[in-house]
């Protein structure tokens, strides 16, 4: 368990450093915040998932598909961490381990585009897209 925690924290820290522009200051406090938020997302993913399902059912937008909350790994215009609720068949949702968020500017800076891709790994270097799974909610955590 301790080994997995340290490995996960190192991966999150490396992702965060790689995702931050060179001109942006990034200190130890930011690294600790990102690591802490990552742990909180893992710990409370079940409760977050239940809250989102209750919220959507309450507003008449519920679904009979399987759902799960997974971390978001972001790349592009800054470093962010958060979580996403994915939705699909139980088998495909079980395969989904994270969502990669890739950001870019379209037509100069007129449009900011975020592509959200469900993946089968928390490793941002070695993963496969999970086709048939969608993103039904975004949970942002301010760092």
Torsion of CA 112, 103, 42, 47, to 10 degrees: 30
Asked whether the beta carbons of 53 and 35 are under 8 A apart, the reply is no
Q: What are the pLDDT digits (tens) for 60-95? A: 999 999 999 999 887 655 555 689 999 999 999 999
Q: What are the pLDDT digits (tens) for 25-72? A: 445 555 555 556 677 888 889 999 999 999 999 999 999 999 999 998
pLDDT band at 108 (very low <50, low <70, confident <90, very high): confident
Domain residue ranges of the chain, discontinuous segments joined by +: 2-140
């Amino acid at each position: 368990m301790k080994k997995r925690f340290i490995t996960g924290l190192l991966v999150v820290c490396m992702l965060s450093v790689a995702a931050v522009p060179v001109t942006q200051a990034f200190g130890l406090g930011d690294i600790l915040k990102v690591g802490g938020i990552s742990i909180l997302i893992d710990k409370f993913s079940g409760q977050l998932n239940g809250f989102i399902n209750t919220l959507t059912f309450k507003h008449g937008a519920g679904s009979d598909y399987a759902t799960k909350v997974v971390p978001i790994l972001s790349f592009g215009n800054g470093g962010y961490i958060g979580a996403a609720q994915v939705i699909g068949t139980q088998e495909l949702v079980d395969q989904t381990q994270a969502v990669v968020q890739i950001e870019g500017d379209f037509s100069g800076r007129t449009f900011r585009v975020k592509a959200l891709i469900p993946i089968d790994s928390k490793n941002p270097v070695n993963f496969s897209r999970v086709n048939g799974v969608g993103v039904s909610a975004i949970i942002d955590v301010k760092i």
